[in-house]
Every structure is written in C-alpha cells, then in structure tokens.
Amino acid sequence: MTASNDQPRAHARRRPVALVTGTAAALGLAAVSLAGPARAASTLTVAKDGSGMYTTVQAAVNAASAGDTISIAKGTYQEIVNVPTTKAGLTLKGATGNAEDVVITYDRAAGYTDSSGNKYGTLGSSVATFSANNLAVTGLTVQNSFNKDAHPDITDTQAVAVTAQGDRQTFRNDRFISRQDTVLNWAPSATGQYRQYFYSSFVTGDVDFIFGNATAVYDRVNIQLRDSGAAAGGLNGFLSAPNTSSAKTYGILVTGSSITSSAAANTYYLGRPWHPSADAVGQLVIRQTSLPAAVKTAGPWTDMSGYSWKNARFFEYKNTGSGAGVNSNRPQLTDSQAASYTAQKYLAGTDGWNPVG
C-alpha cells in the first residue's frame, strides 16, 4: 500500500527526489521511491455483546481491507452480508471453530418486496453474497430462515443462503441451510472463470438447492435432502439445478460425499437442467458418494421447463448406498473418463489452482 505522506527517518540525509527519470539519470542521481512498506493484514473482531471491534458482520466487512481476517464470536447475527469484489483475499471465520456456534441468518425470499415495491428475485434473496476473489469462509453457519408455509401468499419461494460469485473461493467446515436454492454457485460472466471449493461442510435443502453456472466442487460434504412429507414414490424435491455454459467443460462436482435423508423412498431427483438461455447445458457429476433410499433409483434425473435432462451433461461414478444403481437412465463415467472429472481437474483452471483437501 502506498503511503500518503512519506516522512524522513531520524538522522537521515534528505536527498532530492527526481520527478523525471531521464533528468535524474542525466544528473547522476538515483531515483528515490516514495512507496512505503506493504500494509500488514489485520484481524477484525465481531461480537454481538460489544466485546469485539464491531457488533455486526457487515460493519466489519465494510471496514476491512483486502487480505484481512474477520473473526466472529459465538452468537446469532440476524443480518444480510455482502462481501464486494474490492475485498479480495478476505477471510471470514467463526471464532470457536464450530460452525454451529456462529450463525448468520435472515428471513428473505425472492417474492418479498423492497421499499420500492420491487421483488428481490433469486439473487436478491441471498443472506450472504460473496463476490470477492480468493475469499475463505470457515466455521460459519449461513441460514435463510424463510418459511413458505408461513407465507402462502409468496409464490416466488427461492430463498438463497449463500451466493458464491467469485473465483478461487474456499468454504471449509461450514453449514448452509435453507429449503429452495440454498447455495448459488454463480458466474456473473457465464463463460468466465469462477471456481468455488466446498470441503467438509454441510448443505441442506429441498428444491434445486445446489445450483448455478459457476465451477464448484463439493468434496467430503454432508448433503441433506429435507423431508417435505411426500409419500414413497412421490416428490419431495431436487438436489441440484446446474446451468453451466456449453463453453465450459466443468460445472458442479460432488465427490467423496454423503447424501442423507429421512424422506420416504424414491422421492428425490439428483438433479434437473436449468436452461435459462440457449447456451446453458448443465454439467454435473456425482461420484464415489453415498446415496440414500430417498433417491429415485430408476431414474434420478428429470427434465426442467421442457428441457430434457438427456441434453444435459449428467453422470455418476461408483456411487454407493441404497439409492445407488446403474441402468439406462443413470449415465456412468468410465474409469478412463473419471480421471478427467476430479476435484483437481475442475478447479485447476488457467492458473493451476489446487485447494483440494
């Protein structure tokens, strides 16, 4: 960071500063830099009881500089959080290391309206929006507490907990909770490089709750399919809805994870292709993951808004559990193909990024 006022050190002889490099060279003088030492990263503390530097997470984000750490004390913080692109390298962490201790929560749905009477929409329903590159989030719970049963008048029931829309973002030891559209993996530029890595975390929902057009890896994640009360063979929901650009090889990967549910058997689809534009051809692989009986074993993929799942890029590989199976409606990767669909391959991008494990 460049110093705003360069002060001379004690006992140092002040030398003339050459404003024009050529002139300095002609006079035999060395150019003197006014740049000060790089700014050291700081840790900002948040605590509801006032014992920290700030009482809200957003106040700390606003005050932070790129590269800083925000440590959040145990408590429930009812607020909307936005980390803009200018806060690159920011770390948000729960101070206790236990995600259940530090909860950021808010009640907002796409169908709610702002002060001008405009609906928030899916993106606007997000409790936490992370736009900065090289962001790290650890030891936090983010929950959208919208309850559609309590709001029968709301028809747009998307309720995002987290919008991840930066590149080289990592989420470790976190919990993300909602019903519809829990985690949005978003690429503001559909063909741009936006990579997000979720490790050793917990995600729960019931409709399209892992979705979007960014490149995202869910590695050793506990994914819970919530029970909405449907009887066996009925419909409780859909785990995912990718809308990956056809120009991208990689969309969403679930690997080495555990998908669990108390829902009745054969009531959940693993995914459906969100097709909001002609170039959206959803890409999703679920590999070496345990699947519950709630998954529709005869055919875990389904169409969306008239767009066939068979036109998407959906594959499984060596899944286990009572919800696993192999048949004509369950495309499988070969061993050779699987070597190209690993966490490292998804995340490497153009710079070889490897946050895996």
pLDDT reading at 154 higher than 90? yes
Model confidence at 334: pLDDT above 90: yes
- Three-class DSSP category at 86: helix
Write the DSSP symbol of residue 149.
Answer: G
pLDDT in tens, 293-323: 999 999 999 999 999 999 999 999 999 999 9
Supply the DSSP string of 47-80, one letter for each residue: -TTS-SSBSSHHHHHHH--TT-EEEE-SEEEES-
pLDDT for the residue 31? 44
Name which of 7-21, 112-126, 151-165, 299-313 the model is least confident about: 7-21
Rounded Cα gap, residues 244 and 221, in angstroms: 21
CA distance 321 to 273: 24
Residue with tokens 């993951």: 289
CA dihedral (26, 29, 30, 34) in degrees, to 10, reads: -100
In angstroms, the Cα distances linking 176 to 99, 103, 184, 298 are 10, 10, 11, 29
Dist CA 184 CA 161 (whole Å): 8
| pLDDT above 70 for 245 | yes
SS3 of 176, please?
A: strand
Mean per-residue pLDDT, 191-200: 98
Joined together, the tokens standing for residue 234 give 């009925």
State the pLDDT at residue 40. 86
pLDDT at residue 228 is higher than 70: yes
- The whole-angstrom separation of Cα 60 and Cα 63 is 5
pLDDT number for residue 35: 54
When computed from its CA atoms, the radius of gyration of the chain, rounded to whole angstroms, is 24
| pLDDT at residue 36, rounded to an integer | 55
Cβ atoms of 87 and 67 closer than 8 Å:
no
Q: pLDDT value at position 17?
A: 35
DSSP H/E element including 344: helix 343-348
Three-state secondary structure call for residue 218: strand
Domain borders along the chain are 41-348
In the predicted structure, residue 14 carries a pLDDT above the cut 80: no
The arithmetic mean of pLDDT across residues 111-138, rounded, is: 98
Q: Which of 170, 187, 181 is closest to 203 using CA atoms? A: 181
Mean pLDDT of the chain: 91
**Token pair recorded at residue 14:** 């002040």
pLDDT in tens, 25-35: 333 334 444 55
**Annotation says 101 is catalytic:** no
Whether 227 sits among the annotated catalytic residues: the reply is: no
The predicted pLDDT at position 16 comes to 33
Burial code (b: 16+ CB inside 10 Å, e: under 16) for 252-274 equals bbbbebbbbbebbbbbbbbbbbb
pLDDT of residue 71: 98
| pLDDT value at 6 more than 50 | no
Task: Please determine, looking at this structure, whether the domain spanning 41-348 carries the CATH number 3.30.450.20.
Answer: no
Weakest mean pLDDT among 6-15, 53-62, 106-115, 304-313:
6-15
Q: Which of 68, 181, 206, 219 is catalytic?
A: 181
**Token duo for residue 283:** 């890409």
pLDDT tens sequence across 276-289: 999 999 999 999 99
Contacts of 159 (CB under 8 A, 6+ apart): 108, 109, 110, 125, 144, 146, 148, 178, 179, 180, 181
* Residue from 174, 206, 208, 219 carrying the catalytic annotation: 208
Looking at the predicted structure, is the pLDDT value of residue 222 above 50?
yes
Q: Residue 8: what pLDDT? A: 30
Q: What is the largest CA-CA distance in the chain?
A: 88
**Percentage of the chain with pLDDT > 70?**
89
